[in-house]
Amino acid sequence: MSEPETDITTYQASCFCGAVRFEADGDLAAGTMRCNCRFCRKMRYWEMRLPDPGGLRLIRGQEHLAETPRADGNGIDMHHWFCARCGTRLWTEGDIAEMGGRFVQVCVPALDADETELIAAPVFWADGAHDNWWNPAPETRHL
């Protein structure tokens, strides 16, 4: 079975205060994800996975980046980046075998995308709270 066709777009992205700017090559129409795990629930996380982890380019603001790392002995290696000045979540990068290895996911709210494109973007609601990531969350109204 072949991968679905995507229309890769280079999105401009930034934090709220503008200290950090980056570009991300992805396709909102190919789908986004929200999750019910503790981290995503607390952070109100909404992400778009980039088809190529090299598709993220920092334009400015390296000195304003801060990280919420997550690593454990169970194969989880994730780095959640945000702006230390305004707190805007920007992207997550990591390396998890179950996700196909190295990945980059950008936070959809950081994209300077057209509102109609954001509204039309499909959302998959993952059940991370039960380590059932590949299946839909049983309830999403609180997310």
Structural domain that includes position 82: 9-130
Instruction: Give pLDDT, residue 27.
Output: 97
Burial 53-87 (b: 16+ CB within 10 A, else e): bebbeeeebeebbeeeeeeeeeeeebebbbbbbee
- Whether residue 104 lies inside any domain: the answer is yes
- Residue 136 in any domain: the answer is no
Looking at the domain assignment, is residue 135 inside a domain? Answer: no
Task: Give the per-residue pLDDT at 98.
Answer: 77
pLDDT tens, N- to C-terminus, the chain (143 residues): 445 566 899 999 999 999 999 999 999 999 999 999 888 888 888 999 999 999 999 999 999 999 987 756 566 778 999 999 999 999 999 988 877 889 999 999 999 999 999 999 999 999 989 988 889 999 988 88
d(CA 68, CA 28): 25
Which pair of structure tokens corresponds to residue 6? 């995507």
Q: Which CATH number is 30's domain given?
A: 2.170.150.70
Predicted pLDDT of residue 5: 60
Q: Has residue 140 been placed in a domain?
A: no
- 87 lies in a domain? yes
pLDDT given for residue 58 in this prediction = 98
Q: In what order do the strands lie in the sheet with 21-26?
A: 9-14, 21-26, 56-60
137 within a domain of the structure (yes/no): no
Amino acid at 40: C
How many structural domains does the chain have?
1
Domain assignment present for 139: no
69: in domain: yes
| pTM across the whole model | 0.87
